[in-house]
Amino acid sequence: MKDFSEIKEQVKAKIEEVKDNASLSEFWQSYLGKQGVIQGLMKEMKNVPPEEKPSFGKAVNEVREWAQGLYAQKQSQVKELELKARYEREAIDVTMPAMKRDIGNLHPITLIKHQMIDVFAGMGFEVFEGPEIEDDDHNFTRLNVLKDHPSRDMQDTFYLTEELLLRTHTSPGQIRTMDTHKPPIKVLVPGKVFRSDSDATHSPMFSQMEGLVVDKGITLCDLQGMLDKFVQEIFGSGTKTRLRPSYFPFTEPSVEVDVSCFECGGKGCSLCKGTGWIEVLGGGVVNKKVLENCGIDSEVYSGLAFGIGIERITMLKYGISNMGVLFRNEQDFLEQFKA
């Protein structure tokens, strides 16, 4: 009668070698599986004399149970090892500094544009946008800038064809709103405009914000009142406006609007070039001819209009002396406007 000690030694040695799931299942196949060594012992039964069969069977069962015990023990060890290895593999160092994610911000021109819209929206203005490619009619003729009139030379125009051009100002927005809306009208037309002009304070592409009000009894006083409110909101509550006579073909009378210097309070400094005043926009009472060109009865209605350079306001507000920085989009510059 064998005590299977040889097999048991083998099993002991083999189970020692098991380190992972793969070698564990190999162990099962070799010893406990259908083709395994222990199962093979049962097949020996036919060669065992009948009187020894019961004790032989019992002994084989004992070996099997013993090996199964070792297997189960090993299985839970392997499980623990694999789990430990997985934890190590997937470990996260929560003390590691987080990856920095840069968040963009609005461009200063956009910031100021939004501020300007906010101020005028508070006075009941609606926003309208016209096309950047305009025709001669909307950009000039119907604004009372007739062909061959010297006032055409006030703006250096980029022509695309005889009739089409890049709008030189947002004033064609006046015509487009009066064509489609009946008074009372109160609109803002922000947008890009184009002129063949380039130096420290001029760029071939810049932005304007047009304002147009048409109703009964609109006067220059309404313009000054609205602009007073506007400059106080943008430059501070003590800011005043000053209107100087000027000329635009589409307004009569026309004015150039100055604000009291918000840097020195009007005493005179380098920003206002010693005058105490800074020019910020042009405007006036809408020329009766322009109203008539849009089918509005100028005996019943009157209007006011203004055009503000958005870059100009942005430069004044942030103390920028060279317009180029607004268009070069260098990150160091732009990041200074993070909210």
Between CA 166 and CA 173, with CA 171 as vertex, the angle to 5 degrees is: 85
Structure-derived torsion over alpha carbons of residues 141, 145, 147, 150, reported in degrees to the nearest 10: -170
- 64: part of which helix (H) or strand (E)? helix 53-89
Listed ranges 122-130, 133-141, 281-289, 315-323: which one lies at the site for ligand PHE (CB under 6 A): 281-289
Structure-derived torsion over alpha carbons of residues 114, 120, 123, 124, reported in degrees to the nearest 10: -80
β-pair type (241-248, 251-260)? antiparallel
Cross-strand pairs, 242: 258
The arrangement of strands across the sheet holding 302-309 comes to 126-127, 185-194, 205-215, 302-309, 277-286, 251-260, 241-248
Which CB, 125 or 248, lies closer to ligand PHE?
248
Question: Site for ligand PHE (CB under 6 A): which residue of 108, 172, 283, 303?
Answer: 283
Listed ranges 9-17, 32-40, 302-310, 326-334: which one lies at the site for ligand PHE (CB under 6 A): 302-310
Quick note: the x/- pattern for ligand PHE over 172-211, rule CB under 6 A, is --------------------------------------x-
User: Measured over all CA atoms, what is the biggest interatomic distance in the chain, rounded to whole angstroms?
Assistant: 134
**Minimum distance of ligand PHE from residue 162's CB (angstroms):** 22
**Minimum distance of ligand PHE from residue 143's CB (angstroms):** 8
**Minimum distance of ligand PHE from residue 169's CB (angstroms):** 3
Listed ranges 10-18, 116-124, 196-204, 303-311: which one lies at the site for ligand PHE (CB under 6 A): 303-311
Closest by alpha carbon to 175, among 303, 310, 22, 56? 303
**Minimum distance of ligand PHE from residue 152's CB (angstroms):** 13
Q: Is 277 in the site for ligand PHE (CB under 6 A)?
A: no
At residue 199, what are phi and psi to the nearest 5 degrees? -155, -160
Q: Is 251 in the site for ligand PHE (CB under 6 A)?
A: yes
Question: Three-state SS for 262?
Answer: coil
Question: Site for ligand PHE (CB under 6 A): which residue of 139, 144, 157, 171?
Answer: 171
Q: Is the dihedral of CA 210, 215, 220, 222 positive or negative?
A: negative
Q: Is 305 in the site for ligand PHE (CB under 6 A)?
A: yes
**Minimum distance of ligand PHE from residue 125's CB (angstroms):** 14
Q: Is 303 in the site for ligand PHE (CB under 6 A)?
A: no
Question: Site for ligand PHE (CB under 6 A): which residue of 108, 191, 284, 303?
Answer: 284
Which CB, 251 or 314, lies closer to ligand PHE?
251
**Minimum distance of ligand PHE from residue 270's CB (angstroms):** 25
Which amino acid, residue 10?
A: Q
What is the C-alpha separation between 308 and 19, in angstroms, rounded?
79
**Minimum distance of ligand PHE from residue 240's CB (angstroms):** 20
Q: By 3-state DSSP, what share of the chain in percent is helix, strand and coil, each rounded to 5?
A: 45, 20, 35
**Minimum distance of ligand PHE from residue 171's CB (angstroms):** 4
Question: Site for ligand PHE (CB under 6 A): which residue of 120, 206, 301, 306?
Answer: 306
Which parts of this chain interact with ligand PHE (CB under 6 A)? 169, 171, 210, 248, 251, 282-284, 305-307
